[in-house]
Amino acid sequence: MMEEKHNKIKKKKLNQKYNSILNHSINSDLTSQNNVYFMSDEEKIEKIKKHFFQIMEILGLDMNDDSLRKTPKRVAKMFIQEIFSGLNPKNTPNFSIFENKYRYNQMLIEKNITVYSTCEHHFLPIIGKAHVGYISNGKVVGLSKINRIVNFYAKRPQVQERLTIQIVQSLKKMLETQDVACIIEAKHLCVNSRGIKDTDSSTVTTELIGSFKNNSEIRKEFLHHIGIS
């Protein structure tokens, strides 16, 4: 009885954590899906391995071939431990927030952050660069942590618009500042390698809040620093 109560409390806390800042979709409630976060990585890998094996069989591949035999396990491990690791709240990066003791009150920009994500419509890669800036309201974070935020939200099936917003909202909440900006330019292989097969096009998304949105001079400075006039 006590164990059941403990599990309910644990699940409620995990649901709250997931739905508050880690939601896959900004506006949707994934509470019903959160039971998967009580599965171990090994359980998830075994389930995905089984289903991916069936997919490969349906495609007509020889699953006795030495080159293919271990592919389902490789793909399953890659999904759970690497390219979709951002779906699991347990993988949330730990951040140390510091007081802005230097009273630096200009924008801080981390640009050309590598973005590797996956299009949720076709499960093909999204590859690009993110430029992130903020103005401190009394708190700062280590520079590499901005890269980790981008990486965490990118490691899941995504659309670029959502990814851009999630990065901004995460920094806004973490640093308690209203002044955050993010611009992402990326190539989508679902456009470049299939369908229209346009190998030259790229997608740009922008999320500006606070001074970056309302102050034209600050916005202009940010765009200048990241090389957009």
What is the per-residue pLDDT across 148-165, written as a single tens digit (0 to 9) for each?
999 999 999 999 999 999
Residue 7 has what pLDDT? Answer: 59
Map out the domains of the chain as residue ranges.
2-91, 97-225
Residue 29 has what pLDDT? Answer: 41
Residue 20 has what pLDDT? Answer: 47
Question: What is the residue whose two structure tokens read 């954590």?
Answer: 17
pTM above 0.85, yes or no: yes
Residue 33 has what pLDDT? Answer: 59
Q: What are phi and psi of 193, to 5 degrees?
A: -115, -5
Question: 124 in helix, strand or coil?
Answer: coil
Largest CA distance in the chain: 64
In CATH terms, the fold of domain 97-225 is GTP Cyclohydrolase I, domain 2 (3.30.1130)
119 among the known binding-site residues? yes
List active site positions. Answer: 119-122, 160, 188, 190
- Per-position pLDDT tens, the chain of length 229: 666 666 566 556 555 555 544 455 554 444 445 667 789 999 999 999 999 999 999 999 999 999 999 999 999 999 999 999 999 999 999 989 999 999 999 999 999 999 999 999 999 999 999 999 999 999 999 999 999 999 999 999 999 999 999 999 999 999 999 999 999 999 999 999 999 999 999 999 999 999 999 999 999 999 999 998 6
182 among the known binding-site residues? no
Burial zone of 139 (CB within 10 Å; 0-12 exposed, 13-18 middle, 19+ buried): middle
SS (H, E, C) 159-201: CHHHHHHHHHHHHHHHHCCCCEEEEEEEEEHHHHCCCCCCCCC
Taking a C-beta distance cutoff of 8 angstroms, is the pair 56, 72 a contact? yes
In CATH terms, the fold of domain 2-91 is GTP Cyclohydrolase I; Chain A, domain 1 (1.10.286)
